[in-house]
Amino acid sequence: MLIVVAGMPGAGSSTVIQHALKLLRESGEGFASASSPASASASAGAVGFKHLNYGDVMFEIALQEGIVKSRDEIRKLPQTTQQEIQRKACDRIAALSKKENIILDTHCTVKTPFGYLPGLPAESLQKLSPRLFVLIEAFPHEIARRRSSDRTRERDVEDEKSIEEHQAMNRAISMAYACLTGAPVKIIENHDGALEKATTEFAELLTRISQNSV
Ligand code: AMP
Ligand code: MG
């Protein structure tokens, strides 16, 4: 099974995933993150999920091929180069998803110099066959502030209006993804000071899915 969790840079998708898996591990729900094999902690009826970041897989490929030095250079590469790496990464992820349950941390669209690039074009959706799309959202002013305080990345500086446009594009394309796959779209809000609420909501969703009640 593969679940897509998408959020624009600064929405906090990676943080919500990490915190939810930690919460489930600590509460003995039998979920696992990348650092603990699914089989090690799986309890009766529960399903282990591995947290996999699409950007990590793309960066690994681009690094091996000597195309970039940092992950934030990927979205500035020529269109066809990005699409080629995207396809290679998709094949790797699809192969992994045959063996284990995956939470795929990625973006609905990537903002590039030549426009919004679909993170999951039809060919990728067919290969990955997601069960559910989860969108992690925050207010544009929260995203702008989080980006400006993130020293670990070369985040794009964008005004609130363009962040709002990007988030609207992500919502729109997520419903196209839903149409192409039949999988539903769940929106989880991750506002400042409310990470615990977002984490709990996502953890409960994973529990329901593992019990096959979603
Ligand atoms: P992240 O750390 O999630 O922001 O990912 C790093 C970079 O990987 C992004 O800035 C994009 O250039 C690229 N990336 C991640 N997911 C996708 C995707 N589904 N399609 C194309 N590029 C992606
Ligand atoms: Mg992330």
Instruction: Ligand 1 pocket test: pick from 54, 72, 73, 155 the residue with the most ligand atoms within 8 Å of its Cβ.
Output: 54
Helix (H) or strand (E) holding 171: helix 160-181
pLDDT > 50? residue 20: yes
In sign, the C-alpha dihedral spanning 36, 32, 129, 12 is negative
The reply to whether the predicted model has a pTM over 0.85 is yes
Q: Which residues contact 100 (CB under 8 A, 6 or more apart)?
A: 38, 48, 50
Helix (H) or strand (E) holding 15: helix 13-26
User: What backbone torsions phi and psi does residue 30 show, to the nearest 5 degrees?
Assistant: 85, 15
Q: Which ligand is nearest to the CA of 14?
A: 2
Pair 141, 90: CB distance under 8 Å? no
Ranges 40-44, 59-63, 164-168: which has the least confidence: 40-44
DSSP string of 178-199, one letter each residue: HHHH---EEEEE--TT-HHHHH
The pLDDT score that the predictor gives to residue 213 is 55
- State how far Cα 133 lies from the chain centre: 9
Q: Which residue has the higher pLDDT, 42 or 104?
A: 104
What is the CB < 6 Å shell around ligand 1? 9, 53-55, 58, 71, 74-75, 86, 106-107, 110, 117, 119-120
pLDDT tens per residue, range 43-67: 333 458 999 999 999 999 999 999 9
Q: Please tell me the residue having the least CA distance from ligand 1 atom 13.
A: 55
Domain map (residue ranges) of the chain: 2-213
Residue 194's alpha-carbon distances to 16, 48, 57, 134, 144, in angstroms, are: 11, 25, 29, 17, 17
Instruction: Ligand 1 pocket test: pick from 106, 153, 158 the residue with the most ligand atoms within 8 Å of its Cβ.
Output: 106
Ranges 69-73, 80-84, 106-110, 156-160: which has the least confidence: 156-160
DSSP label of 137: E
Average pLDDT score over residue span 67-76: 96
Length, in residues, of the chain: 214
Pair 111, 95: CB distance under 8 Å? no
Nearest of 202, 111, 209, 108 to residue 162 by alpha carbon: 111
What is the chain's mean pLDDT, rounded? 90
Rounded to whole angstroms, the Cα distance separating 7 from 108 reads 7
Q: Which fold has domain 2-213?
A: Rossmann fold (3.40.50)
Give the Å distance between the CA of 118 and the centre of ligand 1: 10
pLDDT > 60? residue 37: no
Q: Which residues contact 143 (CB under 8 A, 6 or more apart)?
A: 8, 9, 10, 11, 163, 167
Q: Please tell me the residue having the least CA distance from ligand 1 atom 20.
A: 119
Rounded to whole angstroms, the Cα distance separating 132 from 121 reads 16
